[in-house]
Chains A and B, each alone.
Chain A
Amino acid sequence: MSRPRVEFLWWEQCPSWERALEELRAAMSDAGADPGAIELRRVGSERDAERERFPGSPTIRIDGEDPDPPGAGQPTGLLCRVYRRDDGRASPLPDPDKVRAALGRALVS
């Protein structure tokens, strides 16, 4: 089993980050990976957001790839990120199934 690099980027003024991190930690545990290995990075300024190419909070990257990639119209900066479910619904949380699938792929690659 490989050890993927898992990054969690958040802006504290968007409240969904806590639930998203909780779900990411659970996904890591369920996949047999160490939740303590998640790199937590707070994005606190527009400069940080620009440097990170931050499409909003929360954002997860697994080996540099976004498991639920932003749509074409998603702006970058200090904002709450809009995730779109397959049925079109908006959510402030990444799709947990997509996160788990990406994690599974990274662990076996």
Chain B
Amino acid sequence: MAIEISEHAPGFELPAAGGGREALEGAGAAATVVYWTCNHCPYALAWHERMLDADRDYAARGVRFLAINSNDGERYPADSFEAMVERIESEGEWPHPYLHDPDQAVARAWGAEKTPHVFVLDSELRLRYHGAPDADHEDASHAAAYLRESLDAVLEGREPEPATTPAVGCGIKWR
């Protein structure tokens, strides 16, 4: 079960595939998008460019994006930290950090279930939306509409409608 709408999101500090560490708290963002993704899931890959585009489009409005991979990298080597680093190097810089959750504690604390699973937080780091980026992984024209609509609502001080949608994708690969 995911954390509840309006609940303060559990904090974390995780290593980034691009180097260094990133913490949830202390950034002072107008809104924060935390989403679970990975290297090997076709759903995560299908939505990937839409997530990067959303970051580029909302960065100027003070929105911060953080991607997290919590999959078991031992059973699924394509999702090891080394594979995450290789991916960042081969694809070029992402507009946001790609974080590794090696003991899966953050995924469990947040109740993340799928890749992708998107969480939108307000400026106080309270949950305002979680679910899928949009309605169809096959159709890029959807352009992460659920995510964008929820961000617009948060930035304008409204409640996203809907506040939740079913996350669609591969289950997180638990240890």
Contacts and interface: CB of A to CB of B under 8 A. Distances in A.
A16 B65 CA distance: 27
Chain A interface mostly: loop
B137 A92 contact: yes
A17 interface: no
A78 B43 CA distance: 15
A13 interface: yes
B166 to A, nearest CB: 10
B137 A80 contact: no
A83 interface: yes
Nearest to B75: A77
A80 B42 contact: yes
B138 interface: yes
A8 to B, nearest CB: 17
Contact count band on B: 10 to 19
A83 B42 contact: yes
B76 A79 contact: yes
B51 to A, nearest CB: 13
A74 to B, nearest CB: 9
B121 to A, nearest CB: 26
A68 to B, nearest CB: 12
B41 interface: yes
Interface of A: 13-16, 75, 79-83, 89-93
12 contacts: A15-B168, A16-B43, A79-B40, A80-B41, A80-B43, A81-B42, A89-B46, A89-B140, A91-B42, A91-B46, A92-B43, A93-B138
Interface of B: 40-43, 45-46, 48, 76-78, 137-138, 140, 168-171
